[in-house]
């Protein structure tokens, strides 16, 4: 398992009311992946911003009837996320809304003529 490095530990973990979360958080605390002081906050609406961020992926995945395997899902979702980052202007050298810069960047990235 790859271990992520962070600058600080979370104070609160906000999730929806699915019953699997308390057990998962308890396991992470037992494995010392999370400090004992981390609070689990289960509230149906507090994580809506996070949920809304991946709403567009659900719209793209459902018509394709899901994925055949984990690796197919991983590769496809990485592509969706990369295109979204480009569209949102989160890539250096490509401003948000600059369609021509976006087209040039993607053509350079994939070696295709624009």
Domain ranges of the chain: 12-50, 54-110
In tens, the pLDDT along 11-62 reads 888 888 888 999 999 999 999 988 999 999 988 777 677 667 777 777 877 7
Rg of the Cα trace of the chain? 19
- pLDDT of 1 higher than 50: no
Of 28, 81, 24, 25, residue with least CA distance to 57: 81
pTM of the model: 0.47
Q: What is the pLDDT of residue 23?
A: 94
Q: How many helices (H) and strands (E) does the chain have?
A: 5, 2
């Amino acid at each position: 398992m790859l271990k992520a490095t962070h600058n600080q530990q979370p104070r609160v973990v906000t999730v929806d009311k699915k019953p699997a979360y308390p057990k998962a958080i308890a396991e992470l605390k037992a494995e010392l992946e999370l400090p004992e002081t981390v609070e689990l906050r289960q509230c149906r609406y507090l994580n809506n911003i996070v949920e809304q961020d991946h709403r567009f992926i659900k719209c793209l995945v459902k018509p394709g009837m899901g994925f055949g395997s984990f690796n197919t899902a991983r590769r496809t979702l990485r592509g969706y996320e990369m295109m979204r980052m480009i569209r949102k202007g989160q890539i250096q050298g490509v401003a948000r809304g600059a369609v021509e810069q976006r087209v040039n960047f993607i053509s350079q990235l994939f070696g295709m003529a624009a």
